[in-house]
A = this chain, B = another copy of it.
Amino acid sequence: MTFFEKLGNQVFSKQTFLCVGLDPVWEKMPQHLPRTQQGLLEFLLNIVKQTKDYAAAYKPNFAYFEALGISGLEVLQELIKEITPEVSVIGDAKRGDVGHSAQMYARAVFESFGCDAVTVSPYLGQDALRPFFEYRDRGVFVLCLTSNRGADDFQLPDLHLHVAKKVQQWNVSGNVGLVVGATFPEKIKAIREITGQMPFLIPGVGTQGGDLEKTLLYADDGSKLPYLINASRSVIYASPREDFAKQAGIAAKQLRDRINSLRSSL
């Protein structure tokens, strides 16, 4: 089964387009938990336990684990092992390097960390992406239009469209999607027109203030195409107290329901 078939099963059987981003920082973790490997893992596993009925996938961002050093990466590895195969894990690593190095990054993310999918950066072109694409049972989300202000520096006005066109051509195994930010919802329309039925991973609806309704309008093509609306901080830091996991579950359920409600009136 391909990654996107597996993802589609999750999305339509659980009726959720929600992806929960796992971006842990000591400063925001509930105060009663110890700032240790064990405390971090406990924090994340409890979030997962309470949100997994509402999440089609989890997206740990490698940056937050790397910032904690080797011990942070040990937690990441353990976390992924605990989540998969029940729910898919997208390793948000945004890797991008020349061909042979890209092969090493693909090996790291898919084999050493055991991710089902990954995010990658297109700046170095096709040979930097191909080693990821060659894992035909895994998913690859290529950065197209990101949700941050800096997207305006190079991605806009045209580069993101070139990226969408090229990636569409390179997607010979049907295992490639795009990262498209919700902070520029009108742009999603043009990208959808270029890429047809390509799954999108969409950050930026939470703290970053992207327009969820417009995003769904342009991302959804009315078919059984899976795509993911990502929320990180608004879910995992829903409460700084001992009820953090329960509150994360409530936040995840609310966002899932809001997405479904908006979708049903598209």
Q: Which residues of A contact B (CB under 8 A)?
A: 23, 25, 61, 63-64, 66-70, 73-74, 77, 94-102, 104-105, 107-108, 112, 121-129, 143, 146-155, 159, 162-163, 166
State whether A67 touches B125 (Cβ < 8 A): no
State whether B63 touches A102 (Cβ < 8 A): yes
Interface of chain A: mostly helix, strand, loop or mixed: helix
A104 contact set on B, CB distance < 8 A: 25, 61, 63-64, 66-67
A107 contact set on B, CB distance < 8 A: 67
Known: A23-B100, A154-B162. 15 other contacts (CB 8 A): A63-B102, A66-B108, A67-B108, A69-B112, A70-B70, A73-B73, A96-B96, A96-B123, A98-B148, A121-B124, A122-B154, A124-B146, A125-B151, A153-B166, A159-B159
Q: How far is the CA of A147 from the CA of B127 in the complex (A)?
A: 11
State whether A61 touches B124 (Cβ < 8 A): no
21 inter-chain pairs at a CB distance below 8 angstroms, sorted by A residue, are: A23-B100, A61-B101, A66-B104, A68-B112, A70-B70, A70-B73, A94-B97, A94-B121, A96-B96, A99-B150, A122-B153, A123-B123, A123-B146, A123-B154, A124-B148, A125-B151, A125-B154, A128-B150, A153-B166, A154-B166, A159-B159
Select one of B23, B70, B101, B152 contacting A63, CB under 8 A.
Answer: B101
Task: Report the minimum CB–CB distance from A141 to chain B (whole Å).
Answer: 13
Across the A-B interface, the 7 shortest Cβ-Cβ residue pairs? A125-B150, A125-B153, A66-B108, A63-B104, A67-B104, A98-B148, A69-B112
Task: Report the minimum CB–CB distance from A131 to chain B (whole Å).
Answer: 10
Q: How far is the CA of A159 from the CA of B94 in the complex (A)?
A: 19
